[in-house]
Structure 1
Amino acid sequence: MVKIVKLEPIAQETEIATNNNLLSVLIEKDLDVLKECGGRGMCATCHVYIKQGMNFLSPMTRREQRTLEIITSCKPTSRLACQSRVLDDGVVVELPPGMYVKSLQDIEALIGRRAEQDLLHPVTGQVLVENGKLITRSTLKQLETTKFQIGEFLTYTTDA
């Protein structure tokens, strides 16, 4: 059976099959989702906020809770889209504002420009450069030790 999910702030309603995860909706709408861990609930790059209908989603697993603990922008309404299965109508999803940085080259190409939206750290979701602010070389410094192959990094750290 099909359920309706609303996406904010883009004000779109979309259909999703019952028990499918929210990530499938985000991918279908071609939204900025990295899904670095392949939907295993380990990377937080599909982090969303649930504005309404938290009780219409599958319960949060311990893995999802642990992953959300590393996100600096986490709120009580945070969920991972890959782990949130839609059980009923009435879910309203708020997409975190900003764009995840995918590589140092992404930043290098933008140095000297103003960010058109918040630039987000690929692991923590922390805002590196706010919307409208100048992108500088210091942003590169903040990312020097970041592992951009997040899926591989998380697999290694969870196996240890």
Structure 2
Amino acid sequence: MKKISLLVTALALAGACGAASAENVSMSFLSVDGVGKSAGSISVKDTKEGLQFTPNLKGLPPGEHGFHVHEKGACGPGMVNDQMAPGGAAGGHLDPKGTKAHKGPMAADGHQGDLPFIVVGADGSAKTAVVAPHLKLADVKGHALMVHVGGDNYSDTPKPLGGGGGRLVCGVVK
């Protein structure tokens, strides 16, 4: 009986360890009034290739959307460029090395929070997974995931931060 109890405990611990490498993040639409209705979720998990983000989003405008990890774990309104903005409480892109450079997810010498853009289909849904090769789940815990209004060119020119513009959808990785 003791062997069976040890086996059950070992299996439970193995399951708990496996669960620690994945997170499901609830995502919501943003406005200057605060966090609004649900936009779906994004599953985040560690893989051999890097951190995989699998969106299950709906109701977004079709096209490419900038996608980033932001420095704070909040999605409420806050000041951005001296103006109250949706999702401003999330702060800027995660940049713990202080690079101050938006170079995209493949660059090791830019914002750590730069992620591959998300593509939304004509039906307003996004379901295609993207991978950030330089991140692990532990790096993003306690930070906001942000989907921006526009696309992302992975550069600070001609517009800063890839030109993604306003903040559309946000969720916090627990």
When the two structures are superposed, what TM-score results if normalisation uses the length of structure 2?
0.30
The structure with the largest strand share of the pair is 2
TM-score normalised by the chain length of structure 1: 0.32
